[in-house]
Structure 1
């Protein structure tokens, strides 16, 4: 179990980043973002492309200088003591060379472990275990440059995990992984958090991974935090607010009756008209039923659609935040 100082594992306060280009107007990538991450938790940082999440991650890791704001990792200020932060953080950044391609997976893991002050020979069995569940055992001595994209990703993950830091940042960690390895990684990340007390931040477009692994999600859009909730609580806010309805009625007349509601996914199946209705207010369900009854619409079925994290993510980002 990791030992921790008092206070959150990661604290971001008033973070802003403005990129200026000569001859062009400045671009605000991150605008007054604040959040904290507790020790031993797994947090998803989500957002559409251009939302500012990658800039936020790089600022936390000390890879770029913020325009404003303060960041601490394990109580250490990122700007004034970056080396102190690096000792506590490992990262896998999507689209970056996180490892040395001329070295083998084993040599990479031994190198990055030694940077942490750990003698590789004392943890060789631990490294072999990581290689095994990542499916790297037969490739540990091959140069990384000869490996597939998936194997390169596995090597980067092995290096990050082997450094045994308190905080782990993973940007698109399952990219290029086969299904079995992806499932194994999810289980290992939960184990690292629950049994070893590691703090893990994940940025991914794979909502299944985030929903399976994370305790909480922070959703960014247009440089701001638009939602910050535990996953179960966030999904519960949207539960039973979308209904799939099947009726027997003239479609043109039905559309007229429902003009005041948010209706999507019209379809005709087996002589029935089916559509989805999104209700922002729970009391609107009774208004919907009254509208259908007053219009003489024969109701065949009503089914509450259980949302998942992807549904919530799309709704929050499309509406600019929690309603």
Structure 2
């Protein structure tokens, strides 16, 4: 797959106010994004995700490392690099609330140097695609949040760039509109071969929409893998065990030592086995007090569970 974005070992350090101390927000992050790919960029609050996003968009310059967009260095060839990327950051702030839907699209296309003659057909196409035709003459301030969000994505599309970066594209949307936005993004990536980077806390969006995810924690990449592979990995290693009696304090102590990623409540144990032989270690702990097992089953996982387990594993490693 052709790489459109290459992030190579970027590091960003901030100096704390009124102090000589430094805070490392991003520490050697690297990844690539291919043409026509929808990639999820994830991370808990304070992980370095926002710094990474702003660096890709050219709003921040890393202290070390490099970012190239379509082969152009984001620092040395900044204008050429940023010509290939458009973004919807912080919700719908890239639209003018006192203009109508049509006027917003016309205005931002004009900012890109496009003539009215060449943009009118594309505006009509976008209004149809995003189901905004009946709102074309509506002032943005009067639109619902979902309509405003769809318009914000339309404005990003008007730029005609290879890469679209979306920050929380479904935040605050109702279920129907959120589903509609997801389907449109799939169509854009598949039919128009646009590269889409999505930063979100909505794990259902990641599971449904993204081909691959890069997860950042404490300024470093802790996962860079196909969503389907991560789901399969944790599906085969996650177990729910119903016991006939509670564990002893000694058993719990051994459990915490051997299996830091687990949940224990009453007589139900959820545990993550990081290798095949780990099942024997678990059985040895249960045999210590001859604890009887009622049932043992592999657990169906969703991507939210995958994300939380990866972050927890990083925290205890």
TM-score by length of 2: 0.89
Look up the match of 2:133.
137
Paired residue for 1:234? Answer: 230
How far apart in 2 are the matches of 1:114 and 1:173? 24
Name the residue aligned to 1:23. Answer: 18
Q: Distance in 2 between matches of 1:252 and 1:75?
A: 58
**CA deviation digits over 1:89-147, x for unaligned, max 9?**
11100257212222222111122223344445545454345334545333322322333
State the partner residue of 1:270. none
Aligned counterpart, 1:266: 265
Equivalent position of 1:10 in the other structure: 5
SS where residue 3 of structure 2 aligns? Answer: coil
Q: Which structure: greater helix fraction?
A: 2
Contact 1:192–1:198 (CA under 8 A) maintained in structure 2: yes
Aligned to 2:313: 319
Deviation, structure 1 residue 73: 0.5
- Name the CA distance, whole Å, in 2 between partners of 1:120 and 1:133: 20
- Native 8 Å contact 1:174 1:182 kept in 2: yes
* Match 2:274 to one of 277, 280, 288: 280
Q: Which residue of 2 aligns with 1:208?
A: 204
Which residue pairs with 1:173 in the alignment? 169
| Aligned equivalent of 2:302 | 308
| Structure 1 residue 36 displacement after superposition | 1.3
**For structure 1, which runs of at least 5 residues remain unmatched after alignment?**
1-5, 268-272
1:34-113 map, 5 Å: 34-95=30-91, 97-113=93-109
Aligned counterparts of 1:18 and 1:169: Cα–Cα separation in 2: 23
Structure 1 residue 44 displacement after superposition: 0.6
Verify the 8 A CA contact 1:247 1:299 in the aligned structure 2: yes
Partner SS state of residue 23, structure 2: strand
State yes or no: 1:247 paired with 2:232. Answer: no
User: Compared with structure 1, are the counterparts of its residues 144 and 112 closer, same or farther at alpha carbon in structure 2 (3 Å cutoff)?
Assistant: same
Say if 1:40 and 1:322 are closer, same or farther in 2 by CA, change over 3 A.
farther
Question: In 2 relative to 1, CA 100–315 (structure 1 residues): closer, same or farther, beyond 3 Å?
Answer: same
Matched, 1:221 2:220: no
The aligned counterpart of 2:291 is 297
- Flag structure 2 segments of 5+ consecutive residues without an equivalent: none
Distance 1:290 1:223, change over 3 A: closer
| Separation (CA, whole Å) in 2 of partners of 1:86 and 1:252 | 58
Q: How many residues align?
A: 311
- The two structures have a TM-score, normalised by structure 1, of 0.87
Show the counterpart of 2:251: 257
* Alpha-carbon spacing, 1:129–1:178, altered in 2? closer, same or farther (3 Å): farther
Q: Tell me the alpha carbon deviations over residues 151-209 of structure 1, each in whole angstroms, 9 at most, x when there is no partner.
A: 32222111112322111101101112221221122122122222211111110000110
Checking the alignment, whether the CA contact within 8 Å between 1:135 and 1:181 is kept in structure 2 is no
